[in-house]
Amino acid sequence: MAKWWKKLSRRGRLEQDLAAELEFHREMAGVNGGTIPLGNAGLIQEEIYDAWRFNGIENLWRDLSYAARGLWRSKGFALSALLSLGLGIGVNTAMFSLAVEFLLSQPSVREAERVVYIRVGGGSHAEPRVVEIFNQSGVFEGVVGENDEPAINWNDGTETKPIFATQGTKNYFQVLGVPVALGRGWTVSDLDDVVVLQHRFWMRHFNGDRGVLGKTMVLNGRAYTVLGVLPEGHRTLMGFGYSPDVFVPQFVEGTNLAIYARLKPGMGLGEAKAALVTITARLRDEFKDQNRYRSPGEMTPVGGIARLQQERQALTIAAFFLVLLVLVGLVLLIACVNVAGMLLARASARTQEIAIRLSLGASRGRLFQQLLAESMLLATVGTAVGFAMAMMMVKLIAAIPLPIPIPIRLHVEPDWRVVAYAAALAVAATLASGLAPAWQTVKDSLAADLRKERRLRLRRGLVVAQVAVSFVVLVTGALFLRSLMQSASLSPGFDVRMTARAAAHMPPGAYAAKGRMWAYSERAVQELAALPGVEAAAAARIIPFNDATSHGLNITFPDTGEKRQVRYHWNAVTPDYFKAMSIPVSAGRVFVERDGSGPRVVVVNRTFVRKFLHDRQAVGAKFSFDGGMREVVGVVEGTKVMTMGEEAQPQMYEPLERAADGRTKMHFVVKSATPPGGQLRAMREALRRVEPSAGLEVATMYNSMGLAMLPSQVGAILMGAIGLVGLLLASIGLYGVLAYAVARRTREIGIRMAIGATAPQICAMVLSDAGWMVVIGSGIGLAVAMLVTEPLSMFLVPGLSPKDPASFVAVAVVLGASALLAALGPVRRAVGIDPMKALRWE
C-alpha cells in the first residue's frame, strides 16, 4: 500500500525529477573534470518507469485508446460488430431480467426472508379459525391470512363490474410491513369498510389523484373508505406478477385463507417447522370431525427460488425460462462468432503492422493483450448498447396486455443480478469473439505464406459452427410454431365459435341462503334463452379453461361391493348445457328437469367410463360415495379442462339444482345462431334485469380462452423471434466469409476467366464453397438438434414429436435459402471480376 501511495504521489513529477537529476549528474561530472557519461538516458528512464509506474493499467489504457481510435477509423466494422453484440447481449439480458422477475422476485414486505407460507391439511387455504389458532400459539411474530381469489363488485357510479380484490386479515399490513406510497394500510383498530388501492388501479380509475384518500368506493353495495395507495412496484405475496386491483379486509365470512407467518427474529426455518408440528396437532384436536388436518403442515419461504417448491407448475415455467436462456445464449454465441470473423478479417489487414512490431521486440503477450483490448472495448460498448436495448425490450414486453383474465404485471427493474449478468456476458463475449482471432494473429504473423490459408480455414470453421448453432435455434423456434398451429386445430371438445359466456358474481350476503343461487340461475337462463338469435342457454358452475374443480374420492359399486379410488373433474350444469356447448351425447340422456329432485343422477364422459366403469353397462350403472347413491343416466364426449395439450380427463356432471354449495359465482353459456360477439350487450342487459347488483363479465368463448393459448403463443412468438435473430446473424457471418474469400481469390478467379472459365463456372465455384459450409453445418446442427430437443416435448402439444420431420425440413430449407441470399453478393462480385485488373491486383 505504501508503495502504491508513493507511486501515485510522485506520478506527475517523476519525469522532470529524473531529467533534472541526470542533468545535475552530468554537470557535476563535467565540473569535476571527469568523463561526461554518455549513457542512454532513455534506457535509465525505461528501467525506472518500469518500477515506478502502474504498468498493467497504463498499458491497458493505452491499448484501449489505441483500439478506440482504430475502431473509429473503420466505422462500418465497428457498427456491425456493435450491432451483432448489442443484439445478442440485449436479447440475453432481457430474457434474464424477465426470468429473474418471474422466478426469483421478493414480495414487497418488510424483511421478506422472515416471512413464510404455510400449508396445513394438504390444502392451499384454511378456515379463518386456523389463522387464529396460529396467532394464539405465540410461536410466530405474527400470522396473517389472505385470499387472492375473490372478485368484488365495484359500482363506479355508472356501472357495476367485478374487480380483483385481495382479502387480508386485520393484522395484514402490520405483520407484513407492506410499504404504502400514499396514506396507510389498515390496522386492527380500523373498521371493516376500508380499502387500499393498487397503484395501477389508482392511476387508471382515479387519474392518480392524491385527494382520493378518505373518499368512498361502493364495493359489493357498501361504502368503503380509501385508506391508502400501494407503490408502483408492489409485488404481491403470491408472486408471478399477480397484481389485484384493491386490498380489503376480509369481507366474506368464512372465506378460506392462505396462511403467511412472520418468524420471530433469529428463528430458523427448521425451528419454525418443528413448531408447526405442534400446532397441527392442536388443529387435529380442534377439528376432530374433519379429516383435513391429519396430514402434516408444510412451510416455504415467500421469496426467491425456495418459493417455487409450493407451485407444481412453477417447474415447467422455470424449465421454459431455462430453454429460453439457453437459446438466447446460443444467439449470443452466433453474434460472437460473427465478430470473431470480422476481427480475423481485420487482423489479416494488420499482419504487416504486427510483424514489424514483433521484430522490433514487442512481446507476443503484449500484442495479444492489445488485440484482446479491441474485442474488450467492443464487448463493453456492445453490452452498454445491449443493456439499453434490453431495458427497452423488457418495458415493451411488460406493457403488452396479456390475453388472460388475471391481472399480471411484471415490475422489471435492472437490479444487481441483471447488471452482473450483463457484465458476465461482456467478459464471455470478449473471450469468445477475441481469443481465437488474437491467438491466430499473433501466432501466424511470422509464418508468412501459410497464414492466410489457415485464417480462412478458421473462419470457415466458425461459419460451419454458426450454421450448426442456428440450425438448433431455428428447429426450436419451428417446433414451437408447429405446436401453436397444431393446438389451434385441436378441438377443445366444445364449440368456441358460436358461443358466448358470462360470469355473474353475486353479493355474498344476500345470496348465502340456500336455493337463492339456483332461483337466480333459473331465471337468468330463461331470460338468456328468450333473447333473439339464441339457440340454447345454460348455467354451469364451471366453464372449461376458466376454472376447474377436481375431486378424488372412493366410490362403491352396490352390486358387487367393489370399491374404487377415482379422480375426476366435476361440474354442475342445467339441462341445456350440453346443447349450448355442442358436446355430443354418446349414450343415454342428458339431464331433464325432474332430475332436480328424486334419485340423484349424474352424466359422465367416455374417459370416466373407460377408466372407472370398465366392463359395466355405463348407462344405469350405480355407485355410491359420501353423498349417497348416484346413477349414471348418460355418457357424453369429453372436453379439455384447462389446456389444449392435456390428455383426456374423466369428467362427471351433476344437475346444478342439486349442487348446493355456498358459492356465489355462476357461469352462463349461450349458443347463438349469429356470431356471438353481437350478443354480448343483450346478454349483459338480460342478466342485469335479473339482478342489478351482480358483477358481470361477458365475453365470447373464443376470447375468454386466451389463457389456454397463452403458453404456446408466447413461446412460439419468443422462440420464433429468437430463431430469426439467430438466422439473421448467421447469414451475415456467411456473407462476410464468402465476400472475404472472393476478395482473396480475385487473382485466381481472374486467371481462370482469362483462360476461358465461363461465368456459370465461376458462379458454381463460389456457390459450392458456400454450399459445403452450409451442408456440413446443417449436418452437425441436425445431429445436435436431434439430441437436445428431446426435453422440449413438455412444451409441445401431444402427438408433436420433438423430432418432427416437417420442422426439420423447413429449417433446412430456410437455412439453404438464406445461405443462397447471403452468397448472392459475393457471387456477383466474382462474376464481375475483370481479368486484366485482377492480374494486376496486389
| Segment lying near another protein (by CB under 8 A), choices 20-28, 117-125, 644-652, 833-841 | 20-28
Supply 139's cell numbers. 410461536
Residue 52 or 206 with smaller CB distance to another protein:
52
* Nearest distance from C-beta of residue 23 to another protein, angstroms: 10
As a whole number of angstroms, the distance between CA 509 and CA 518 comes to 15
If you search the block for the grid coordinates 372449461, which residue do you land on?
544
Q: Rounded to an integer, what distance in angstroms lies between the CA atom of residue 301 and that of residue 580?
A: 45
CB 337 within 8 A of CB 428: no
- CA torsion, ordered 167, 171, 174, 179, to nearest 10 deg: 0
- Cβ 64 to another protein, closest distance in Å? 25
Least distance from C-beta 34 to another protein, angstroms? 9
Q: Tell me the backbone φ, ψ of residue 352, rounded to 5 degrees.
A: -60, -50
> Rounded to whole angstroms, how far apart are CA atoms 439 and 429?
16
Per residue, what are the HEC states of 773-835?
HHHHHHHHHHHHHHHHCHHHHHHCCCCCCCCCHHHHHHHHHHHHHHHHHHHHHHHHHHHCCCH
> Of residues 37, 123, 662, 825, which one binds another protein by CB under 8 A?
37
Q: Figure out which of the listed residues 8, 11, 15, 27 binds another protein, where binding follows CB under 8 A.
A: 27
- Asked if 46 is part of the footprint of another protein (rule: CB under 8 A), the reply reads yes
Beta-bridged to residue 539, according to DSSP, are 668
Q: Which of 2, 360, 400, 450 binds another protein (CB under 8 A)?
A: 2
Nearer to another protein, 31 or 349 (CB): 31
Q: Among 3, 73, 288, 312, which residue sits at the site for another protein (rule: CB under 8 A)?
A: 3
By beta-carbon proximity to another protein, the closer residue of 9 and 189 is 9
Count the neighbouring beta carbons within 10 Å of the beta carbon of residue 366: 15
Buried b (16+ CB within 10 A) or exposed e, 522-543: bebbebbbeeeebbbbbbbbbb
Contact residue for another protein among 19, 28, 427, 629 (CB under 8 A) = 28
40 makes contact with another protein (CB under 8 A) = yes
Beta strands in 574-690 (DSSP E): 585-588, 601-605, 622-625, 628-636, 651-655, 665-672
Phi, then psi, of 529 in degrees rounded to 5: -65, -25
Which among 49-57, 78-86, 103-111, 826-834 is the span making contact with another protein, rule CB under 8 A?
49-57
Q: How far is the CB of 358 from another protein (least distance, A)?
A: 17
Identity of the residue, 48 or 384, whose beta carbon is nearer to another protein in the bound complex: 48
Cα dist from 246 to 168, 198, 315, 407, whole Å: 11, 6, 29, 11
Q: With CA atoms as reference, report the closest residue to 708 among 796, 644, 646.
A: 644
List the interface residues with another protein, window 192-231 (CB under 8 A): none
E strands in 3-114: none
Q: Which amino acid is at 228?
A: G
User: In whole angstroms, how close is the CB of 360 to another protein at the nearest point?
Assistant: 15
Q: Does 791 bind another protein (CB under 8 A)?
A: no
Taking alpha carbons only, the member of 283, 223, 279, 292 closest to residue 251 is: 223
Q: Is residue 520 helix, strand or coil?
A: helix
Q: How far is the CB of 55 from another protein (least distance, A)?
A: 11
- Asked if 62 is part of the footprint of another protein (rule: CB under 8 A), the reply reads no
* Residues in region 128-147 near another protein by CB under 8 A: none
Q: Which of 8, 29, 488, 673 contacts another protein by CB under 8 A? A: 29
Question: In angstroms, what is the minimal distance from the CB of 29 to another protein?
Answer: 7
Minimum distance from residue 43 beta carbon to another protein (Å): 7
Stretch that binds another protein, among 47-55, 201-209, 528-536, 748-756 (CB under 8 A): 47-55
* Segment interacting with another protein, rule: CB under 8 A, options 23-31, 127-135, 158-166, 724-732: 23-31
**Cβ closest to another protein, residue 7 vs residue 411:** 7
Radius of gyration of the chain (CA): 36
Cell 409485488 maps to which residue?
235
Which of positions 83-122 make contact with another protein (CB under 8 A)? Answer: none
What is the smallest separation between the CB atom of 2 and another protein, expressed in angstroms? 7
Q: Which stretch binds another protein (CB under 8 A): 39-47, 537-545, 634-642, 717-725?
A: 39-47
Interface pick for another protein out of 17, 209, 646, 748 (rule CB under 8 A):
17
Could you please report the per-residue DSSP string of 542-584? Answer: --TTT--EEEEEEEE-TTT--EEEEEEEEEEE-TTHHHHHTPP
Interaction between residue 31 and another protein (CB under 8 A): yes
Amino acid making up residue 754: A
Q: Which is nearer to another protein, 27 or 646 (CB)?
A: 27
| Residue 18 vs 435, nearer CB to another protein | 18
Judged by CB under 8 A, how many residues of this single chain contact another protein?
Answer: 28
Distance CA 291, CA 284 (A): 8
Cα gap 432→463, rounded to integer Å? 14
- Please, which residue, 31 or 450, has the CB nearer to another protein? 31
Cβ proximity to another protein: between 28 and 673 the closer is 28
Stretch that binds another protein, among 17-25, 204-212, 594-602, 801-809 (CB under 8 A): 17-25
Q: In b/e form, how buried is each residue of 381-400, taking b as 16+ CB within 10 angstroms?
A: bbbebbbebbbebbeebbee
- Which among 3-11, 135-143, 614-622, 689-697 is the span making contact with another protein, rule CB under 8 A? 3-11
> Could you say which DSSP state residue 613 is in?
I
* Residue number with CB closer to another protein (13 or 594): 13
Nearer to another protein, 20 or 277 (CB): 20
Residue 43 binds to another protein (criterion: CB under 8 A): yes
Closest distance of CB 7 from another protein, Å = 8
Q: Which of 11, 25, 204, 681 binds another protein (CB under 8 A)?
A: 25
Provide the minimum distance between the beta carbon of 453 and another protein in the complex, in angstroms, as a whole number. Answer: 36
CB environment 486-509: b (16+ within 10 A), e (fewer)? bbeeeebbbbbebbbbbbbbbbbe
Candidates 8, 19, 20, 356; binder of another protein (CB under 8 A) is: 20
Q: Could you give phi then psi for residue 585, rounded to 5 degrees?
A: -95, 125
CB of 443 to another protein, least distance (A): 24
HEC readout, 301-349: ECCCHHHHHHCHHHHHHHHHHHHHHHHHHHHHHHHHHHHHHHHHHHHHH
- Told to check if 50 binds another protein by CB under 8 A, we report yes
**Residue 289 one-letter amino acid:** D
24 binds another protein (CB under 8 A): yes
* Residue closer to another protein (CB basis): 35 or 560: 35
Q: Which is nearer to another protein, 44 or 392 (CB)?
A: 44
The widest CA-to-CA distance across the chain, in whole angstroms, is: 135
Site string for another protein, 259-288 (x = CB under 8 A): ------------------------------
Per CB under 8 A, the list member of 7, 170, 366, 747 interacting with another protein is 7
22 binds another protein (CB under 8 A): yes
Residue 160 is classified by DSSP as E
Q: Which is nearer to another protein, 44 or 188 (CB)?
A: 44
Which residues contact another protein (rule: CB under 8 A)?
Answer: 2-3, 6-7, 17-18, 20-22, 24-29, 31-32, 37, 39-40, 43-44, 46-48, 50-52
